[in-house]
């Protein structure tokens, strides 16, 4: 006797309704296995007690089209791939933005100075602010990390001021702009260049006083301020720089400075090589 013909024991009305519900589920599962299931992707299984479970399955339709579970799975896979690609692009753009900001900070500083200078000989023609780094510019030297370490612009026919933005060149070691027509005051921001070894501002038209912030340049070896229009007293902190720093040559002659720079022995035990100042300072 088939399963369909087996009598269903009924003890009361609630049991009868439960049995009828199980019977409907069993028949639906049978239809799903052999009929609608091929279209809907549904597989049913029933126990002898009439308890049935319907599960979605991956089936291939007669025309070769995959059922909805496979289509949905493939759609999710594609979505995950798209999200992963977008995340990768966001991270990549973020890293590029950081690198651009770090490099362009030096480009911006030098371009700010260029915009204030008069350059009749076009020595700054290669200073293109649209480039990613200033390391390909003439008169600019960089280290292995593409950070500016030298500016060599002596006797270049330049006129105009020094700008505070130069103080942002954190790895600058040599700033040579002697024998030009640089005017204005010495920016106190140059005291931020704590890696500076040589500062050559001689034979220009600089005025005002020597900023005390130059006393922060503890590794400075050469300070050339001669032949300008500097006035005021030589700051005590500059005198201390001679004693406690590494200064070897200091030339402040041919200015309007007051005070005297005394010969000292610095912390290395070696006397300053040369101190040049006005005879009546």
For every residue of 193-262, DSSP letters joined together read -TT--EEE--SSEEEEPPPGGGGG-TT--EEE--SSEEEEEPPHHHHHHHHHS---EEE--SSEEES-PP
Q: Judge whether 270 and 246 are in contact, CB under 8 Å.
A: no
Same domain, yes or no, for 226 and 111? yes
Domain residues for the domain of 23 are 3-65
Take residue 124 and report the two structure tokens written for it.
């700054």
* Nearest Cα residue to 275 out of 248, 257, 255, 256: 248
Instruction: Establish if 133 belongs to a structural domain.
Output: yes
pLDDT given for residue 12 in this prediction: 56
Same domain, yes or no, for 128 and 239? yes
Instruction: Establish if 260 belongs to a structural domain.
Output: yes
H/E stretch holding 45 reads strand 42-46
DSSP structure class, residue 135: G
Q: Sign of dihedral through CA atoms 151, 109, 203, 256?
A: negative
Q: Judge whether 182 and 162 are in contact, CB under 8 Å.
A: yes
Per-residue pLDDT of the chain (281 residues; tens, 9 = 90+): 444 545 545 455 666 666 676 666 566 555 444 444 344 444 555 555 555 554 554 444 455 455 555 666 667 667 767 677 767 676 767 666 555 544 479 999 999 999 999 999 999 999 999 988 999 999 999 999 999 999 999 999 999 999 999 999 999 999 999 999 999 999 999 999 999 999 999 999 999 999 999 999 999 999 999 999 999 988 887 777 877 768 888 898 999 988 666 555 555 444 444 566 665 54
Same domain, yes or no, for 54 and 111? no
pTM, two decimal places: 0.62
**CATH code at 221?**
3.80.10.10
Please provide residue 54's backbone torsions phi and psi, each rounded to the nearest 5 degrees: -105, 130
Same domain, yes or no, for 153 and 239? yes
Domain-terminating residue out of 45, 65, 85: 65
The total number of structural domains that make up the chain: 2
Same domain, yes or no, for 172 and 34? no
Pairing mode of beta strands 198-200, 174-176? parallel
Three-state SS at 186:
coil
Same domain, yes or no, for 21 and 111? no
């Amino acid at each position: 006797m088939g399963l369909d013909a087996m009598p269903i024991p009924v003890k009361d009305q609630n049991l009868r309704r439960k049995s009828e519900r199980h019977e409907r589920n069993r028949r639906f599962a049978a239809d799903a296995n052999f009929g609608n299931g091929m279209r809907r992707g549904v597989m049913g299984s029933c126990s002898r007690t009439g308890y049935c479970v319907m599960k979605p399955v991956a089936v291939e339709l007669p025309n070769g089209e995959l059922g909805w579970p496979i289509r949905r799975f493939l759609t999710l896979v594609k979505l995950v791939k798209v999200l992963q690609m977008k995340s990768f692009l966001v991270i990549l753009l973020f890293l590029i933005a950081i690198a651009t900001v770090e490099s362009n900070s030096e480009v911006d500083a030098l371009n700010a100075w260029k915009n204030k200078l008069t350059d009749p000989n076009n020595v700054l023609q290669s200073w293109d602010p649209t480039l990613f780094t200033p390391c390909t510019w003439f008169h600019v030297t960089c280290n292995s990390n593409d950070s500016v370490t030298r500016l060599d612009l002596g006797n270049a026919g330049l006129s105009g001021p020094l700008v505070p933005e130069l103080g942002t060149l954190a790895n600058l070691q040599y700033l040579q702009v002697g024998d030009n027509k640089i005017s204005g005051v010495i920016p106190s921001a140059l005291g931020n260049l704590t890696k500076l070894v040589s500062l050559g501002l001689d034979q220009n038209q600089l005025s005002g006083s020597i900023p005390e912030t130059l006393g922060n340049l503890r590794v400075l070896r050469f300070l050339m301020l001669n032949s300008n229009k500097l006035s005021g007293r030589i700051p005590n902190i500059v005198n201390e720089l001679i004693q406690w720093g590494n200064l070897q040559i200091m030339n402040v002659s041919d200015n309007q400075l007051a005070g005297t720079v005394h010969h000292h022995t610095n912390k290395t035990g070696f006397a300053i090589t040369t101190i040049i100042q006005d005879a009546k300072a």
